[in-house]
Amino acid sequence: MPATPDPDPAAQPAAPAAPVADGRPYSPGLEGVLAAETSLGLVDGANGRLMYRGYRIGDLVANGTYAAVANLLWTGTWDPRSHMAAGRVPSAVLSALRALPRTTKPMDALRTAVSVWGATQVLDWPPSEVHARAITAFSPSALAAFVRLRQDLEPIDPDPRLDLVSGFLFQLTGERPDPATARALDAYFIVGAEHGLNASTFAARVITSTRSDMASAVAGAIGAMKGPLHGGAPSEVVEQIHRVGSPEHAEQWVREALARGERLMGFGHRVYRAYDPRATALRTVVEAMPTKPDWLELAIKVEDVALRVLEEKHPDRPLKTNVEFYAAAVLQGVGLTPDLFPATFALARHAGWTAHVIEQASANRLIRPDARYVGPGERDLPA
């Protein structure tokens, strides 16, 4: 919907300056603070539920596509026939990607591409569904172009007949993916599309609240997701499962790892106290694949063993599978290298980021929290 303009600051009476009240509560990291209202997603950690605009994530994965889910987040309308193909990469972006060192991390390349893309577009205020569709379609093509350039290969133009996820895989390899592979990655994109007011989404809303543009908000969100506390866990799951080696070694490895006090990656979550519903949806898709790569078979075995051993050792502390476990299984299973995992997560989250940008702009208020001053008292400069 069109944004409601903020009042002109010049026409408003100036508020008197006042110190921050000492009695107000301080919440490090804003934990537990309600900073926004949203109709986009509900994360119910206590009961292991995730819904997009009221629809259960498992139903969306079973019956929809990433294009349909993105359209739902942007418009509020469920249309399973929605189609979205990968977009073209402007020459200015290709030039920037060619200039990057081959050692550049994919997240840095994606952030750079989004910034350059934004400089080539007319992104007026308020940000719109048109902007959201354009940047969500562009970014997979840009990441695929960078991956090929660092391999000394030329980028591949998008095929408009393919949907976004199949098109991304095609632009990476030059080969059209088989339906099962495309389906698995599309399911990953769906479960990664939206997850409440996480760090990167909050960053996007803060940037939007200043009346900046869609590309700036997404570039800032990518910067937030680049941090290992947000977007890096699936690659650690891959390393862990590689150390297990084979299904018959799974139980011994899990028990020895716990005896050494090691954390099992892919289990436990800051929000969910029940089995992560995104992991449930991804496992359902993985188990339905007609032929599963050996790596996926191993992941399923490791999960079954880990859940049984964790419940045995920690009966009073629920440590259930989180989305990173099956995200790693899917991303590895479709042939992506671990260094691409965070950037692929960012591609999936574009639908949610841009939906939050539109929602923030629709009833905008500048996000400007206070800080409690804890420095020295008023004093004179030394002579």
Tell me the catalytic residues. 269, 324
Task: Give how far Cα 107 sits from Cα of 45, 59, 104, 299, 374, Å.
Answer: 28, 30, 8, 26, 36
Task: Calculate helix-pair angle for 233-244, 323-333, nearest 10 degrees.
Answer: 70
What 3-state DSSP class applies to 241?
A: helix
Three-class secondary structure of residue 250 per DSSP? helix
Spatial strand order in the sheet of 41-44? 41-44, 49-52, 55-56
Tokens of 328: 């790693």
Q: Can you read off the two tokens belonging to residue 241?
A: 């499962």
d(Cα 160, Cα 158) in Å, to the nearest integer? 6
C-beta of residue 228 within 8 angstroms of C-beta of residue 360? no
What angle, 0 to 180 degrees and rounded to 10, lies between the N-to-C axes of helices 199-209 and 341-362? 40
| 3-state class percentages of the chain: helix first, strand second, coil last, to nearest 5 | 55, 5, 40
